[in-house]
Amino acid sequence: MSASVVDYARSAFDLIGDFERLSTPSAVINRLATALHSYGYSAFLVTGVPEPPDRVEPYILANGWPAEFAEQYSRANYYLDDPIAAWCRRTVDPYEWAEAQYDFTRQPRAAEVMLLAADHGMKRGFCVPIVRGSGAHACVTMAGERPDFHPRAKRAIHIISLFAHASVVRTLRGEQERTTNEQKRLTKREREALQWAAVGKSAWETSVIMNISERTVIGFLANAQRKLNASNRTHAVVAAIRAREITL
């Protein structure tokens, strides 16, 4: 077995271990950027691939494009005519950008966006389509001046991209959950008392259910009302539902 085979395989499997250990989106993105750079890629994007006329910006998970290119792309909404994105919606197989077919004469904006990419150092690219469990399309797409297109390199990039995408999604979800938990202002018992109030239970009935004194229930409700800046118990229930402290 040649050294190149060993290096490509080792690179991919070492990165899989790294992605599994990383716990923040920024750490995953930085590790991915470093890995792709070693294959000759200077820019990348991890994103969902919605059907036009939806814009791509709300679906972007990690933006490693040159800032000026990303700004021009968004301002002109080139996503509508981007041949790389259009090809990604048609296939599940990784492909070089040059394989994304389009008609230069009938699709002038497709030609424009490819020329714009080349002007920003993204002359040759590679895209790994990903179909998520929901059926939605996503991808990891990358480009550079002269990336490594050796077949083994492309296979390694395919594996790396799948794990990078999963790690970005996982860490973003964890960050959102942490933010949601940090935003919660009520204690578990205050939420429980307010939850019973929301379904019409009196303080006495709630005290029986929670196996605590009625005075303690009243205290929990008063604390919840104060924390939510509510004028009365009904207002507190509404405010708690809006803040996702409780549900009906």
The domains found in the chain, sorted by start residue, are 3-181 (3.30.450.80), 184-242 (1.10.10.10)
Helix spans in the chain (H): 3-21, 25-37, 67-76, 83-88, 108-119, 151-183, 188-198, 203-210, 214-227, 233-242
Spans of the chain below 50 pLDDT: 1-6
Amino acid of residue 156? A
Which residues, at least 6 apart from 168, have a Cβ–Cβ distance to it below 8 Å?
Answer: 25, 28, 29, 32, 46, 61, 62
Burial (Cβ within 10 Å: 0-12, 13-18, ≥19) of residue 184: middle
Which pLDDT does position 180 carry in this prediction?
Answer: 59
The confidence score (pLDDT) of residue 181 equals: 60
The whole-number pLDDT of residue 179 equals 60
Please tell me whether the overall predicted TM-score, pTM, comes out greater than 0.75 for this model.
no
Tokens of 187: 């204690």
Nearest to 97 by CA among 76, 107, 111: 111
Of residues 194, 193, 202, 188, the one with CA closest to residue 242: 194
Amino acid 3: pLDDT: 43
**What local confidence, expressed as pLDDT, does residue 41 receive?**
97
pLDDT of residue 1: 37
Q: What local confidence, expressed as pLDDT, does residue 36 receive?
A: 96
Nearest to 45 by CA among 103, 11, 88, 3: 88
What is the C-alpha to C-alpha distance for residues 89 and 110, in angstroms, rounded to an integer?
A: 15
The pLDDT of residue 159 is 94
